[in-house]
Amino acid sequence: MEESFQFHYSLLDYLFTLVGLLLFLLDIALDVWTVVSFYKNGAYVYMAVMIFLLLGSSVLLQVFSWLWYSDYLDNIETKVEKFAKKHLLIKTFHFLQLGVYLRYAGVIEISTTHFLQHTNSFTEGVAVYLNHDLQMLRLFETFSESAPQLILMMSIILQRRELEIITGLKILTSAAAIASSVAMYHRCMRAFLPEKCKMSWISTGIYFLWNLLVIIPRITALALFCSVLPCFIIAHFLSLWMLLVLVAWSQKTNFMEHRGWEWLYRAAVGLIWYFCWFNISTGSIKSKTILYYSFMGLDTVMLLGFWCWKVFEYAGCWSSLNPYMVIPTLLGLYVIGILVKIIYYKRFHPNGDQEKITEPAEEGQLRQAAACYEMETDLKQRESLHATAAAPAPVHPFTGVPNRHRKMAANFYS
């Protein structure tokens, strides 16, 4: 007996997409304002770093977006994307750094059509896939632009000794935005699962909380280190990032359509790992998680140790923060975050008691999603043949599903 699946793209997910677009535009406006402020204040080094982060992140997003488009240009579903393809504008949009906006337009179009015209689950499934790609790009943007920007701004505040309650609230809000990006991506992936495994908003909140609790100490430690040893933060990042890329390579990922571009994906994973855990493979997930958090915990302690050393070396120059209060607080938050994560997977993980196999949260769902799409397409084709009394034809899998998803599922679950 065949098991039936349904995609889940709720009205709240649709509203979150609209809000995400507005926040994306607001973020660009704030970035421009920050660059102009640095220029007016004569902080040309900070301005150059800011521009580098903005351009680097934008180019990374456009490259991924274009590569994913090029994988299934013949199977584009939305009208706005078909129009762009017909007039040869997709590559132009990406060259002008506008590819993400094209994706937003496609998701909003097909989602609006689904909710207003009550279309079938096939259209809903397309919306889920398009939204997944968009959330993936937002995740890359979070750790290639937002997190480094937050470290830069925190280090500037520490150097100028401008830490106040309002400033602290702004920093906390920025860290919450980073954690929410991770949580929303995870929730987006859960949309591929059957209803019994759907991620509730309570689970989403707990997932957001433990990410926030482990991200705050990590980013704060990097900012403190950068505030006293700004030149060495580059060496620290490059050395650790290259190590993490090699670790991603050792996991034998198979995410991209073309093997040559797989290293770009691994580089992006290494960038995410520099700040936060991101699961990309099967195997002993528990041991990998323990190893990751132990290693990053030691690295965070090392960063805080260097900051403490410089504070004591230049006593009086860095008196705005007391190391005896800062270090225990950050390490305490880190430990609490890990404990909340354990509680999440014990009590709040949607399929914790239902699935006995070990599948990564970021990839296990794709296997079921590919099967769902093929089943939906099979049903759609059979209904069409029955209505037109046409001769039977062989059923082909839904070609609109990006091959990279099916490849990844086949690689890990063959």
pLDDT digits (tens, 9 = 90+) for 242-269: 999 999 998 888 888 788 889 999 999 9
- The confidence band for 2, taking pLDDT boundaries of 50, 70 and 90, is very low
User: Mind giving me the DSSP string for 335-389?
Assistant: HHHHHHHHHIIIII-TTTTT--S---TTTHHHHHHHHHHHHHHHHHHHHHHHHHT
SS (H, E, C) 88-123: CCHHHHHHCCCHHHHHHHHHHHHHHHHHHHCCCHHH
Kindly tell me the sign of the dihedral angle through the C-alpha atoms of 278, 139, 85, 109: positive
DSSP 314: T
Higher pLDDT, 318 or 222: 222
Least confident range from 62-66, 139-143, 226-230, 380-384: namely 380-384
Instruction: Say yes or no to pLDDT of 304 above 90.
Output: yes
Q: What is the pLDDT of residues 311-342, one digit of tens each?
A: 887 765 555 678 889 999 999 999 999 999 99
Instruction: Say yes or no to pLDDT of 159 above 90.
Output: no
∠ CA 402-131-274, rounded to 5°: 90
Least confident range from 20-24, 199-203, 227-231, 238-242: namely 199-203
* Local structure of 317: helix, strand or coil: coil
Alpha carbon distance 345, 242 (integer Å): 30
Q: Quote the pLDDT of residue 301.
A: 95
Higher pLDDT, 374 or 231: 231
Alpha carbon distance 125, 143 (integer Å): 28
Q: Quote the pLDDT of residue 361.
A: 40
As a whole-number percent, the residues of the chain with pLDDT over 90 amount to: 35
Least confident range from 154-158, 234-238, 376-380: namely 376-380
Closest CA to 68 of 364, 359, 400, 375: 400
Location of structure tokens 């482990």 = 214
Q: Quote the pLDDT of residue 36.
A: 92
Averaged pLDDT for residues 135-139: 90
For helices 44-71 and 121-141, angle between their N-to-C axes, nearest 10 degrees: 150
- Alpha-helical regions (H) of 191-284: 201-228, 232-250, 262-273
Residues shown for the chain = 414
Question: pTM surpassing 0.85?
Answer: no
- How high is the mean pLDDT of the chain? 78
For helices 99-117 and 44-71, angle between their N-to-C axes, nearest 10 degrees: 50
Closest CA to 146 of 166, 174, 182: 174
Higher pLDDT, 352 or 134: 134
Most confident of 96-105, 113-122, 163-172, 367-376: 96-105
- The confidence band for 389, taking pLDDT boundaries of 50, 70 and 90, is very low
For helices 121-141 and 364-388, angle between their N-to-C axes, nearest 10 degrees: 150
Q: Quote the pLDDT of residue 317.
A: 53
Q: Quote the pLDDT of residue 28.
A: 87
Q: Quote the pLDDT of residue 30.
A: 87
CB 331 within 8 A of CB 217: yes
